[in-house]
Chain A
Amino acid sequence: MLLSMQGISKAFAGVAALRSASLEVGRAEVMALVGQNGAGKSTLIKILTGVYRRDEGTIALDGREVDFAMPAESQAAGIATIYQEINLAPQRSVAENIYLSREPRRFGMIDHAAMRRGAEAVLATFNLAIDVDRPVARFDAATRQMVAIARAVTQNARLVIMDEPTSSLDEREVAVLFETIRTLKRSGVSVIFIGHRLDELYAICDRVTIMRDGQTVAKSAMADMSKMDLVRHMLGKELAAFQAMAADGATSDRPVRLAVEKAGAGVRVRDVSLTVREGEISGLAGLLGSGRTETARLIFGADRMERGTIRMDGKARDYREPAAAIADGIGLVSEDRKVDGIVPDMSIRENMTLALLPKLRKAGIVDRARQDEIVARYIRALGIKCASPDQPIKELSGGNQQKVLLARWLATDPRVLIVDEPTRGIDIGAKSEILKLLRGLADEGLSVLMISSELEELLAAADRVTVLSDGSSVAEIARKDLSEAALLAAMAHQMPQGETA
């Protein structure tokens, strides 16, 4: 046994995040660590790596008890972590990032030539040939991840922790990553693989540890655990699978609320047309880099449109800034909660009413009573799990943060809500909850434009799907024609004759 964590407990501000959790990882083993958001996976990992101190419990590495007070200590002991938001210094070069804090030296000075050679050599083992002198910010997410893994390898890591490593990778890149994991395994390195996509877990992991509500609820060999059981353990209840929630094509005769006609700006958005009708969820699909998020930003006035027209209820609109779009009843829940959405240190109450503050003014100051009332209503309506409205939002799980963001926009009473990857990084249980929420809102008349990378999500919830490819809309698929095959074909831009939009 390489790693054994037993009886780990941890509380934040009196709220238990972990209650006697455990985790064991064998040598050269890939351990899946799964659980819903807020189950305690991240907390457990941060305790292992010395980011947090535990309240109770023991950690043994190679049979010897350890107690890491800071990340540097766990790294020295051979534990490397590749975080979800890949932790590299963006402006430093690839080579520097791989060797930072362990630079090869000659006469006390950095041996740049050796560093460059070493970086190239280790990247070559992953079949990656890039200019290692370039800043890492210049490379895509997959490459940055490889750099982070290369860093772990050169640290002689015995245990590599990967926190949702595939969340920003496409299929080909995932295959490369898995090959890398197999290489690590062959050289005796163990991996803790935190992930949500079941197929990936079964493809790469040997064993699985399942967490729920701060506890370890199941441990098993991957092969002995059926998908159904795995999900059941995670959710703690029978899985309510995504059932078809769409309005069954009944929306196609409703009036168009938002229409985008031949919109374009720069090279990312070339020629996009789409419509969102009253009371429907209109899906926006496409591979990474197809221009989905950029299209949303154009509609929202966050970027300037250079070509084309946007119509709201038939009237041409040109939003010069988001404030204008918001005033017209458009809301945007952005893809990256951490960067564009939440203000981490502000409370749930403040985060939720941020977009609403101008309307909450009474004689110039914020009407606290109305604010409290609105916040209480949405916490109840969306089932947001929190200690109190004054809790900092950063303490909530990803799914609950997303609900607060949704509430922020719902409170402004929008007519069109754009949601960009609304279920990114949140667990299956919360996913179907969010989808149901959006469906319910649409049924009440809201027009939703849902950007999603997950086919099941689009298949389950969308009334129509517009597919983007390389900055252009290449297909609009109506509910009755919607299938996985149709979506995939459109994304690959191989539409059969006569169906191109």
Chain B
Amino acid sequence: MQAILRPFAIKSSGDIARLGVILALLGLILFGALRYDYFLSPYNILSFLRYNSMFALIALGMAFVIITGGIDLSVGGTAAMASVVAALLSPHHWAAGLLGGMAAGLAVGAVNGFIITKMRIQPFIATLATMLAAYGTGLLLAGNQSVSVSYDSGFTVIGQDDFLGFPIPAWIALAAYVAGWLVLEKLPIGRHILAIGDGEATAGLMGLKVERTLAGVYLASGALAGLAGVVLAAQFGAGQPTEGVGWELFAIASVVVGGTLLTGGAGSVGATLAGALLLAMVFNILNFENGLGWISLSAYWQSVIRGAFLLVVVVLQAKLMKKHEGA
């Protein structure tokens, strides 16, 4: 009995926050389902998943980075650049677009990892610089306009088609999250990532390979941002050098709502997905609310409401965690 209950036992205050976001997500779904006729319609669910998979991908990479106590501001710029690279390569073969976009992301991740671990530059500064460089590179490659993808090589399948009734981007994100969960929870490297976020110096003294692990985490974040860029290009049929602005903030918000501490050392893959879905769901619900016709919220107001919602969730989490720690 105890062995069955163990996974659900709350051992740390972070568990409370993670449980909280999942409950909030379920609550929001219930609210939407009861209030709007078409909220649970296949069309809404599928387009919701298709569109938000990109954000889920970069949130996953961001979660790992933040667990180490770092930050990756370059993900939006990387996704934009990768979408251009993917679009430019898509006429050759659909796989060329896919791998090219991911390679572009890996390249940015490699630069981030090198600057942060070898040159000992703060992640915030390092990735701020690569963010600007990535946007610039994207615009250069695209000649300052969006680049149409090839519709003949099958590249658009990645973004627009379904598999077993679900959008392919959703499958990609699901696969990435399962892999991420395995890495964080089941593989030794995941425990090392957590321990490094708990204290880099201590982790080094305990014999962990701190630099290599950190570099790997930024590589992964870059690759996932690249993949998000590929999905972006395939879904909208064009490489978009001006997209991706603010994506890093959405990713950071998702990770934080998912109960991952910005100070590092604690976090969960599942709760990050819940956090990303939760923030996207708020947007979705606001759209439905507009659709009811009683109120009309501009995109600006939606942004304000989303921000307020984020604040409420984070404050509630902080209160719950404090209460638990006091107990």
Chain A positions near chain B (C-beta within 8 angstroms): 51, 70-72, 75-76, 81, 83, 87-93, 96, 100-101, 103, 105, 108-110, 133-135, 151
Contacts and interface: CB of A to CB of B under 8 A. Distances in A.
Nearest to B261: A91
A151 B195 CA distance: 15
B191 A103 contact: yes
Contacts of B208: 72, 100-101
Given A71-B207, A87-B205, A89-B265, A109 B187 contact: yes
B293 interface: no
B195 A134 contact: no
Contact of A100 (B12, B191, B201): B191
B188 interface: yes
A137 to B, nearest CB: 9
B275 to A, nearest CB: 19
Given A96-B191, A109-B186, A134-B12, 10 more contacts: A51-B205, A70-B204, A81-B205, A87-B205, A89-B265, A90-B199, A91-B14, A92-B191, A100-B203, A110-B188
Interface of B: 6, 9, 11-12, 14, 182, 186-188, 191-192, 194-195, 198-199, 201-209, 265-266
B265 A108 contact: no
A355 B207 CA distance: 39
B179 to A, nearest CB: 13
Contacts of B9: 133
Given A91-B265, A100-B191, A100-B192, A135 B206 contact: no
Most-contacted residue by chain B among A83, A90, A101, A103 (CB, 10 A)? A101
B188 A71 contact: no
A91 B12 contact: yes
A89 B188 contact: no
B207 A75 contact: yes
A93 B194 contact: no
Given A93-B11, A134-B11, A135-B11, A87 B188 contact: no
Contacts, number: 76
Contact of A101 (B11, B206, B266): B206
22 contacts: A71-B204, A72-B208, A72-B209, A83-B205, A87-B199, A87-B206, A88-B206, A89-B198, A89-B203, A91-B12, A92-B194, A92-B195, A96-B195, A109-B182, A109-B186, A109-B187, A110-B191, A133-B6, A133-B11, A134-B12, A135-B11, A135-B12
Contacts of A110: 186-188, 191
Contacts of A93: 11
A88 B198 CA distance: 9
Contacts of A90: 198-199, 265
Contacts of B265: 89-92
A29 B205 CA distance: 24
A87 B192 contact: no
Most-contacted residue by chain B among A72, A89, A110, A151 (CB, 10 A)? A89
Nearest to B187: A109
Contacts of B194: 89, 91-92
A91 B188 CA distance: 16
A100 B11 contact: no
Contacts of B191: 92, 96, 100, 103, 110
A451 to B, nearest CB: 25
Contacts of B266: 91
Q: What 9 A-B pairs come out closest when comparing CB atoms?
A: A89-B198, A72-B207, A89-B195, A109-B186, A103-B188, A91-B265, A87-B202, A75-B207, A101-B207
Most-contacted residue by chain B among A83, A90, A91, A96 (CB, 10 A)? A91
B14 to A, nearest CB: 8
A57 B11 CA distance: 48
Given A71-B207, A75-B207, A91-B194, A108 B187 contact: yes
